Structure 1
């Protein structure tokens, strides 16, 4: 079990993987910000609350899932304190944490298997930010 508080959300295209992750993730706390079924919805309605929860510090990290991961990543990255990374394999998840101090992982449900999504999330949760020269770069990201 990870001692993490996690915020999770998806649109209709990410609903299936979100539900599976809700049933399999072992974390300290897991808050589901929706959507709650496969009816067509607008991804910003779920990406903004997840991003706000992570940005405020109420949750340690976030997971957003949609068909391509682009919409949720773009939306989440509008928040000043968010670094949302689209990841479709474990190496990208590790680099997003190590080099970019990403705090939300964005998963493209239509393009990867659920097993890959699980591996991405596990890698994202267990990889630490390296700091050093990367900290200088991350500190320059904010507008």
Structure 2
């Protein structure tokens, strides 16, 4: 009487292919999550920038915005009012820079550059926009 079943080689191949498919799905899922974190960072930065700008106009109080190595800080006075950390895939390129948001609309157009480990570079250009608001323009280079 001969028993029917799978050989060790067949079982190993099935396990190898299954592990590869699982690993590939996990890797793609992680990249999607990291890309969403980068998107959320820029969305939060844009919202905070606009909110701080309008508060500076209403209260006639200047707000300092500082881009550091691992976060952006919004200061009113001596203490940070809001800190936004960069996602772990995003690195600020260049030296720390400071911007002053105030009702005088006086800021020199400048560019902040970020490099992503996901293969993208972002350039944020701060410039005067319509209605006295500063605009943040993102450029993605794949």
Task: Tell me the TM-score normalised to structure 2 length.
Answer: 0.26
Which is richer in helix?
1
TM-score, length-normalised on structure 1?
Answer: 0.26
Higher Rg of the two aligned structures:
2
Higher relative contact order, chain-length normalized (CA < 8 Å, sep 6+): 1
Higher-strand-fraction structure: 2
